[in-house]
Amino acid sequence: MCRSSAAPARGKRQLNELDSGQSVRYLRTTTGLTETDLVDGTGASERTVRRWAHAKSEPQARYQRQIDDLRTIVNALEPTLTSRGIRQWLRARNRYLGD
Protein backbone atom coordinates (compact mmCIF):
# COMPACT_ATOMS: atom_id res chain seq x y z
CA MET A 1 0.00 0.00 0.00
CA CYS A 2 2.40 2.63 -1.11
CA ARG A 3 1.31 6.21 -1.33
CA SER A 4 1.16 7.43 -4.90
CA SER A 5 3.54 10.24 -5.78
CA ALA A 6 0.52 12.42 -6.63
CA ALA A 7 -0.67 12.46 -3.01
CA PRO A 8 1.40 14.99 -1.05
CA ALA A 9 2.30 13.98 2.49
CA ARG A 10 2.07 16.56 5.20
CA GLY A 11 5.58 17.34 6.44
CA LYS A 12 6.68 16.04 9.81
CA ARG A 13 7.52 19.53 10.94
CA GLN A 14 4.02 20.81 10.12
CA LEU A 15 2.21 18.01 11.95
CA ASN A 16 4.50 18.35 14.96
CA GLU A 17 3.65 22.04 15.22
CA LEU A 18 -0.04 21.33 15.81
CA ASP A 19 -1.37 21.43 19.35
CA SER A 20 -3.13 18.34 20.69
CA GLY A 21 -6.62 19.45 19.67
CA GLN A 22 -5.47 20.25 16.15
CA SER A 23 -3.62 16.93 16.02
CA VAL A 24 -6.79 15.04 16.91
CA ARG A 25 -8.71 16.83 14.17
CA TYR A 26 -5.91 16.16 11.69
CA LEU A 27 -5.76 12.48 12.65
CA ARG A 28 -9.56 12.22 12.22
CA THR A 29 -9.97 14.11 8.97
CA THR A 30 -6.75 13.73 7.02
CA THR A 31 -5.50 10.30 8.03
CA GLY A 32 -8.99 8.87 8.35
CA LEU A 33 -8.70 7.54 11.88
CA THR A 34 -12.14 6.84 13.30
CA GLU A 35 -13.42 7.90 16.68
CA THR A 36 -13.01 4.27 17.73
CA ASP A 37 -9.35 4.33 16.63
CA LEU A 38 -8.76 7.41 18.76
CA VAL A 39 -10.70 5.97 21.71
CA ASP A 40 -8.52 2.85 21.55
CA GLY A 41 -5.34 4.86 21.02
CA THR A 42 -5.87 7.36 23.83
CA GLY A 43 -8.08 5.61 26.38
CA ALA A 44 -10.56 8.49 26.29
CA SER A 45 -14.32 7.97 25.99
CA GLU A 46 -16.12 8.25 22.63
CA ARG A 47 -17.87 11.38 23.83
CA THR A 48 -14.55 12.99 24.77
CA VAL A 49 -12.96 12.15 21.41
CA ARG A 50 -16.04 13.51 19.63
CA ARG A 51 -15.67 16.82 21.52
CA TRP A 52 -12.00 17.02 20.54
CA ALA A 53 -12.79 16.28 16.90
CA HIS A 54 -15.44 19.00 16.76
CA ALA A 55 -13.23 21.55 18.58
CA LYS A 56 -15.67 21.74 21.49
CA SER A 57 -12.87 21.03 23.97
CA GLU A 58 -9.14 20.48 24.02
CA PRO A 59 -7.58 17.22 25.20
CA GLN A 60 -6.77 17.05 28.89
CA ALA A 61 -3.15 16.68 30.01
CA ARG A 62 -3.62 13.00 30.83
CA TYR A 63 -4.20 12.24 27.12
CA GLN A 64 -1.31 14.33 25.75
CA ARG A 65 1.22 11.48 25.62
CA GLN A 66 -1.11 9.13 23.75
CA ILE A 67 -1.99 11.83 21.22
CA ASP A 68 1.69 12.68 20.79
CA ASP A 69 2.48 8.98 20.28
CA LEU A 70 -0.23 8.63 17.61
CA ARG A 71 1.02 11.77 15.90
CA THR A 72 4.59 10.43 15.89
CA ILE A 73 3.51 7.08 14.45
CA VAL A 74 1.44 8.76 11.74
CA ASN A 75 4.42 11.02 10.92
CA ALA A 76 6.55 7.92 10.37
CA LEU A 77 3.96 6.07 8.31
CA GLU A 78 2.55 8.87 6.15
CA PRO A 79 5.36 9.02 3.58
CA THR A 80 4.85 5.38 2.60
CA LEU A 81 1.27 4.38 3.46
CA THR A 82 -2.16 5.56 2.45
CA SER A 83 -4.72 6.53 5.09
CA ARG A 84 -6.15 3.02 4.91
CA GLY A 85 -2.68 1.53 5.29
CA ILE A 86 -2.02 3.64 8.38
CA ARG A 87 -5.25 2.43 9.98
CA GLN A 88 -4.37 -1.18 9.15
CA TRP A 89 -0.86 -0.77 10.58
CA LEU A 90 -2.24 0.72 13.80
CA ARG A 91 -4.69 -2.18 14.20
CA ALA A 92 -2.21 -4.96 13.31
CA ARG A 93 -0.25 -6.95 15.86
CA ASN A 94 3.45 -6.18 15.88
CA ARG A 95 5.82 -8.54 17.63
CA TYR A 96 8.39 -5.74 18.03
CA LEU A 97 5.84 -3.73 20.01
CA GLY A 98 4.66 -6.59 22.20
CA ASP A 99 1.64 -7.35 20.01
Q: Residue-wise pLDDT tens for the chain (99 aa)?
A: 444 444 444 444 455 667 788 888 888 887 888 889 899 989 999 999 989 888 888 888 889 889 888 888 888 998 999 988 998 888 888 887 776
Residue 86, CA distances (Å) to 19, 39, 68, 97 in order: 21, 16, 16, 16
pLDDT at 25: 85
> Would you state the pLDDT for residue 81?
92
**CATH classification (class only), 17-93:** mainly alpha
Q: Is the Cα torsion angle 33, 72, 56, 9 positive or negative in sign?
A: negative
pLDDT at 16: 62
Q: Are 92 and 40 in contact (CB under 8 A)?
A: no
Q: Are 86 and 77 in contact (CB under 8 A)?
A: yes
